[in-house]
Amino acid sequence: MHEKPIAFVFPGQGSQQVGMLAAAYEKFAVVRDTFEEASQALDVNIWSLVMSGPQQALNLTETTQPVLLTCSVALWRAWEESSGAPPCIMAGHSLGEFSALVCAGALGFADAVKLVRKRGQFMQTAVPAGQGAMAAIIGVEDSEVIRICQQVAQEENSIVSAVNFNSPGQVVIAGNVAAVDIAISALKEAGAKRALPLPVSAPFHTQLMKPAGEHLAEVMAGMMIASPKIPVVHNVNATVEPDPEKIRTLLVEQIYSPVQWTACMRRVIEAGAQHVVECGPGKVLSGLSRRIEKTLHCYSLEEPEALLATAAELK
């Protein structure tokens, strides 16, 4: 193993900002080439969307997903070109799992860009706009969040569940709007420090996403998936999976299953990783990583200086 064991982590929706990666785009030809490749695959100028937005357009799920995937793959290619050391393990948060699988050589980039745009469309249309909601709950034990959501779902004959276990004491819930509102009140009574509704357009990772999973399975049926060259930890069960057919199944299940991010990071730590490199815009996962394990050294690659300095440091 590399003497400084590295894990690469790839962010999901919520990390997108107008103007992200502007400096990396200027600095690295490989970043420009990656955006060009994605634009050709989708027949849309992705870079102009990143630069001019508006943020509202960038936040549309079917746009966010291919754009973030492209950002992550572009930075990964710049890392490789800068002689950055190979990671011993990878993980991605929700959409980020697709980025990880592209960078690990399991999915072709052009295929994946088209796939995640469709994934975004399926997720958006599975639940009509305005009927689903998500909220971040801070300061309540995971088990208590699960219990309260189950109770509310039963009493209201509706859907609300814990969907992202992001770090100890930070869980995202999602479901039908009314049920989420009731669960927020109940969780505040149970001692939540904060319960923040999230600016998303659909209740991701709930059973309401089952139809999206069925559509995704149809699209993925003909897709080439290879065994990853670098182990990738999966959101659904926090395990590494070398079998392409099982990866296919896990990517479908992921759309309507909770993201077990805390467990994924524990698996990364078990693999020996002490350095966590966030390969994408922003520093959301770096913050979560430190909450999960204080001893981890975290880096983000969005700025060219940071990418080059990290590549040199972790050689």
Give the other-Cβ count within 10 Å of 229's Cβ: 11
Which amino acid, residue 307? Answer: L
* C-alpha distances out from residue 234 to 97, 133, 258, 288, 293, Å: 7, 24, 11, 17, 19
Instruction: Determine whether 300 is an active site residue.
Output: no
Instruction: Determine whether 297 is an active site residue.
Output: no
**For residue 103, which of 312, 221, 278 has the smallest C-alpha distance?**
278
Q: Which residue has the tokens 């999901």?
A: 12
Whether 212 and 255 have beta carbons less than 8 Å apart is answered as yes
Which of 15, 72, 201, 205 is an active site residue? 205
Q: Which residue has the tokens 């199944």?
A: 249
**How many Å apart are CA 71 and CA 58, to the nearest integer?**
13
Q: What is the DSSP string of 239-271?
A: -B---HHHHHHHHHHHTTS-B-HHHHHHHHHHT
Which of 72, 94, 99, 167 is an active site residue? 94
**How many Å apart are CA 47 and CA 21, to the nearest integer?**
10
Pairing of β 132-138 and β 194-197: antiparallel
* C-alpha distances out from residue 273 to 4, 7, 178, 187, 266, Å: 8, 6, 42, 34, 10
- Which residues are the active-site residues? 94, 205
